[in-house]
Amino acid sequence: MSDTLAQSTLNIQKDETSRGKPLPSHAKVAIIGGGVVGCSILFHLSKFGWKDVILLERDELTSGSSWHAAGQIHTISSDPNISRLQSYTIGLYKEIEELSGQSVGLHMTGGFYLASNKEWHDYLKRERSKARYMGLEQQWISPTELAEKHPLIDPKHYYAALWDDQDGDLDPSGTTYAFAKAARHYGGQYFTHTPVTATTMRPDGQWEVATERGTVIAEHVVNCGGLWAREVGHMAGLHLPVQPMEHHYLLTDRIEEVANFGSRLPCGIDYEANIYFRQERDGMLLGTYEPIGTPWKVGGTPWDFGHELLPPNLENIADRLELAFERVPALAAAGIKDAINGPFTFGPDGNPMIGPVPGMRNYWCAVGVMAGFCQGGGVGLTLAEWMIDGEPSIDVWAMDVARFGDWATPDWGTVKSTENYERRFVMTFPNETLPKGRVQKTTALYDRLVARGAVMDQGFGLENALWFADGPEDAHEEPTFERNRSFDYVAREVQAVQEAVGGIEIANFAKHEFKGAGARAYLDTILAGYVPKPGRLTLTPMLTPKGRLYGDLTVACLSEDHFMLFGSGAMQEAHRRWFEKDLPADVGYANVSDDWHGIALSGPKSRELLQRITRDDVSAEAFRFRDLRQTFVGGVPVICNRISFSGERGYEIYCRPQYLLRLAQAIEEAGGDLGYHWYGARALMSMRLEKGWGAWTLEFRPDFNAVESGMDAFINWKKDFVGKAATEAFRNEGVARKLVTMTIDVDGIDVTGDEAILNDGEAVGYVSSGGYAHRVGKSMAMGYVAAEHANAGNTLDVEILGEMYKAHVQGAPVYDANGANMRS
Ligand SMILES: Cc1cc2nc3c(=O)[nH]c(=O)nc-3n(C[C@H](O)[C@H](O)[C@H](O)COP(=O)(O)OP(=O)(O)OC[C@H]3O[C@@H](n4cnc5c(N)ncnc54)[C@H](O)[C@@H]3O)c2cc1C
């Protein structure tokens, strides 16, 4: 038996201190599930001062996936803020060990990430660049150093190795108990052998949490059901798209080189071989993500499961083992002592799903946490901040449960979670779109655009065009870190928009409708900018009480008591949650994103095209920039907004979904001789760069405030609004960083996001987005840099795949600086 398993089995059997304790009748928070995630949330809520926080566990603590984890920990993640939280998690282990008196079995050995081909070397260069500005300790080590640190590895297979001091391993069971016992130190309580059987919302908004040992009335419920997250969700009518997956690791017999090494060996990940490994006693532990994932118990996790493992299926990992034996030859010679196959729960994109569930009051979840020992601490911190302060201290969009909507069904969740499991150590390039779970949600234009050569992606479940190839047979990507094959096609789309007229489908923009006598006053409070008069449009930031950005929205006033807000499609459920939280009784609100599809026309000939298909006078004088009309275009009823995100003259035409095909036909027929061309999201993102316009999730996100992002230009300071005091303070006291737009002296490659920005070799910021700007023929990036480096004319360096390139901070948009085209 390994250290891990020996201790786990011991711990899973007994914790008499919490067994049979009488349940309280009321609690502020009832956490369901005593795995590492639930225990971390119990710890954080209690530490931050909330009283009457209880955790209910159906069996002993760690009775789900937590007891049989491999216990490897590291900071690397595709999302920088998740990396930050992983770093926080690892830093927390000493604290909970001391508070609880419970060993977490921590071995901070350091660890390495191995690249055995150019692609993985490039990937690690990008990770190294991210780590620079995040202040994480990662450095390159040579093959000789690698062999010195881990003599079992044959270094000839590797291009490069990235070393991280913060990697290591721990005892999963001990760690879970340490969180729970440390929580007790602050007054948190846990109750084992207390299965929750029902959760019911009471008329007063509290939750009735029924257990086999009595009922607790709780203000808040947190679903931390791990392997049973789906079943716990069903109790509240929630269908979470998560899926337990089978997962293997092997434990070897004693290996002499390991036993005699003198210190504990560091842990490692070899991406191409798809293996992770570490020392376990005098032998090794070797894990892999099977090439064909096995979803476990698709129909539901049995309630009597928990202390068992699954029969191993070594055939499914035979190819991986062969590679592992080549690269770490001592493993081939060692006997296999144990083959562990245990299930753990994955989410559709591999990241946790946490936070308040949209549409439900005081129901929180922290599920799909697939690396609980790397992420559990950060998840606990985030959820506790969210519950206590109303918002987390950093942007956790990558983990927010609201990034999925009702299109993320259980079936879809199983397909995507399996895909993500299989791709855990498989490269995803920046221009790559994942193939599974596609065509989940489409508009009436799907077949038409595909027939025109559209290369599609999905956003918030909905298919949308990225770019247009010459036809369906030409519509494919070649995944790369460098400029990809869409380059010339996107250039063609941009040219059509710049010189003639282009059309882009805009069903994927979010639309939020507000009605009622109190609508204007409500919007005036929650939006920081101007709320327009009837028939007009404005752009406005929406801020949190702490002054963080929570939206950049276009507000349309249809009539004095009827408004439509247009914004980020991805954020639509998060925004719905925000709007519904304290909605006044005299305001009606609905997320109507699926009720309005549409097409945006852009380019100098867009007016002529529009005039051909509407009886309205749309001349410059009659239909001014930022006007809106409820009218008829192409013979169908529409809302037509005179704005454009392309920087050219343009119109956003929204119609009900049943009219979209007719609208598209009318546009194509009327636009043929004007040079009409469909364009996609890539062209749009390129054009907005030249205007220096940020985009939600990239430049605009809750990590930044209105002053840092420049969104303060749209604030109406004469009124009161949510976040005003904080924003005034930012304005008066000054901010430490600012959003800049830069041109970069580089050819053949562009930034893709998250690259470090440096000044004299020191990281002073990071790239939020970028790419090639076709109208001005330049590579460009946007990013946040320390305020002293944000002045126009400054030259900085941007690191792209390990090389430094000069970047020039711009003072004004590089294209149509005064906006004459757009307003024309
Ligand atoms: C083979 C394997 C290797 C792994 N290796 C690693 C690794 O190296 N590093 C890493 O970070 N992660 C690893 N993991 C993943 C890690 O184990 C999970 O991320 C983690 O255990 C998730 O914890 P959890 O608290 O969300 O869920 P769980 O551990 O499943 O806990 C859920 C708990 O909720 C309880 N519960 C469920 N329903 C109810 C109810 N109705 N009433 C009361 N209680 C209920 C269950 O009894 C259980 O105790 C590994 C997993 C496996 C399977």
195 Cβ closer than 6 Å to some ligand 1 atom: yes
pLDDT > 90: percent of the chain:
95
Residue type, 474: D
The residue whose C-alpha atom lies closest to atom 16 belonging to ligand 1 is: 372
252 Cβ closer than 6 Å to some ligand 1 atom: no
pLDDT tens for each residue of 269-300: 999 999 999 999 999 999 999 999 999 999 99
pLDDT tens for each residue of 580-631: 999 999 999 999 999 999 999 999 999 999 999 999 999 999 999 999 999 9
Best mutation site among 179, 344, 401, 417 for ligand 1 pocket (most ligand atoms within 8 Å of CB): 344
Of 24-33, 130-139, 514-523, 734-743, minimum mean pLDDT range = 130-139
What pLDDT sits at residue 21? 85
Q: Strand ranges (DSSP E) for 568-711?
A: 588-591, 597-602, 628-633, 636-641, 650-655, 676-678
Q: Which helix (H) or strand (E) holds 797?
A: strand 795-800
Task: Please state the atom number of ligand 1 nearest to the C-alpha of residue 303.
Answer: 38
As a whole number, the mean pLDDT across the chain is 95
Contacts of residue 229, Cβ cutoff 8 Å, sequence gap at least 6: 33, 223, 240, 242, 345, 365, 367, 368
Q: Which two tokens stand for residue 86?
A: 């992983």
Tokens 């639930």, located at residue: 38
Model confidence band, residue 7 (pLDDT cutoffs 50, 70, 90): very low
Query: Is residue 241 over pLDDT 80?
Result: yes
The residue whose C-alpha atom lies closest to atom 18 belonging to ligand 1 is: 372
What pLDDT sits at residue 17? 73
Q: Which helix (H) or strand (E) holds 172?
A: helix 172-185
Neighbours of 445 (CB within 10 A): 23
Ligand 1 centroid, distance to 64 Cα (angstroms)? 5
Query: Is residue 792 over pLDDT 60?
Result: yes
Query: Is residue 8 over pLDDT 60?
Result: no
Distance of CA 734 to CAs 94, 284, 694, 756, 759, Å? 36, 53, 21, 23, 21
What pLDDT sits at residue 5? 40
Ligand 1 centroid, distance to 91 Cα (angstroms)? 21
Task: Please state the atom number of ligand 1 nearest to the C-alpha of residue 375.
Answer: 11
Ligand 1 centroid, distance to 367 Cα (angstroms)? 9
Contacts of residue 531, Cβ cutoff 8 Å, sequence gap at least 6: 520, 523, 524, 538, 540, 555, 557, 563
Best mutation site among 66, 251, 278, 317 for ligand 1 pocket (most ligand atoms within 8 Å of CB): 66
The residue whose C-alpha atom lies closest to atom 31 belonging to ligand 1 is: 35
Distance of CA 723 to CAs 69, 522, 542, 704, 728, Å? 43, 14, 8, 13, 9
Q: Rounded mean pLDDT of 104-128?
A: 96
Ligand 1 centroid, distance to 224 Cα (angstroms)? 9
71 Cβ closer than 6 Å to some ligand 1 atom: yes
249 Cβ closer than 6 Å to some ligand 1 atom: yes
Ligand 1 centroid, distance to 366 Cα (angstroms)? 11
Ligand 1 centroid, distance to 226 Cα (angstroms)? 5
Q: Strand ranges (DSSP E) for 634-759?
A: 636-641, 650-655, 676-678, 737-744, 756-759
DSSP string across 206-272 = -EEEEETTEEEEEEEEEE--GGGHHHHHHTTT-----EEEEEEEEEE---HHHHTSSSPPPEEEETT
Ligand 1 centroid, distance to 66 Cα (angstroms)? 4
Ligand 1 centroid, distance to 302 Cα (angstroms)? 15
Q: Phi/psi class of residue 778: alpha, beta or left (left: φ > 0; alpha: ψ in -120 to 50)?
A: beta
What pLDDT sits at residue 501? 98
Q: Rounded mean pLDDT of 142-161?
A: 94
Best mutation site among 42, 72, 227 for ligand 1 pocket (most ligand atoms within 8 Å of CB): 227
CA distance 347 to 419: 10
Q: Rounded mean pLDDT of 403-420?
A: 98
Query: Is residue 673 over pLDDT 50?
Result: yes
What pLDDT sits at residue 638? 98
What pLDDT sits at residue 15? 73
pTM: 0.96
What pLDDT sits at residue 12? 55
pLDDT tens for each residue of 474-485: 999 999 999 999
Contact call for residues 241 and 264 (beta carbons, < 8 A)? no
70 Cβ closer than 6 Å to some ligand 1 atom: yes
Task: Please state the atom number of ligand 1 nearest to the C-alpha of residue 373.
Answer: 11
Ligand 1 centroid, distance to 390 Cα (angstroms)? 27
Q: Rounded mean pLDDT of 500-507?
A: 98
Residue type, 717: W
Q: Which helix (H) or strand (E) holds 115?
A: strand 111-115
Task: Please state the atom number of ligand 1 nearest to the C-alpha of residue 276.
Answer: 8
What pLDDT sits at residue 181? 97
Task: Please state the atom number of ligand 1 nearest to the C-alpha of residue 59.
Answer: 47
251 Cβ closer than 6 Å to some ligand 1 atom: no
Query: Is residue 454 over pLDDT 80?
Result: yes
Task: Please state the atom number of ligand 1 nearest to the C-alpha of residue 64.
Answer: 30
Task: Please state the atom number of ligand 1 nearest to the C-alpha of residue 195.
Answer: 42
Query: Is residue 6 over pLDDT 50?
Result: no
The residue whose C-alpha atom lies closest to atom 27 belonging to ligand 1 is: 226
Exposed / middle / buried, residue 621 (Cβ in 10 Å: 0-12, 13-18, 19+) = exposed
65 Cβ closer than 6 Å to some ligand 1 atom: yes
Name the maximum alpha-carbon separation found in the chain.
87
Task: Please state the atom number of ligand 1 nearest to the C-alpha of residue 249.
Answer: 1
Q: Which two tokens stand for residue 662?
A: 């007719």
Model confidence band, residue 397 (pLDDT cutoffs 50, 70, 90): very high
Reduced to 3 states, what is the DSSP secondary structure of residue 821? helix
Estimate to the nearest angstrom the gap between the alpha carbon of 436 and the chain centroid. Answer: 18
Query: Is residue 3 over pLDDT 60?
Result: no
Contacts of residue 224, Cβ cutoff 8 Å, sequence gap at least 6: 31, 32, 33, 34, 35, 37, 38, 41, 365, 366, 367
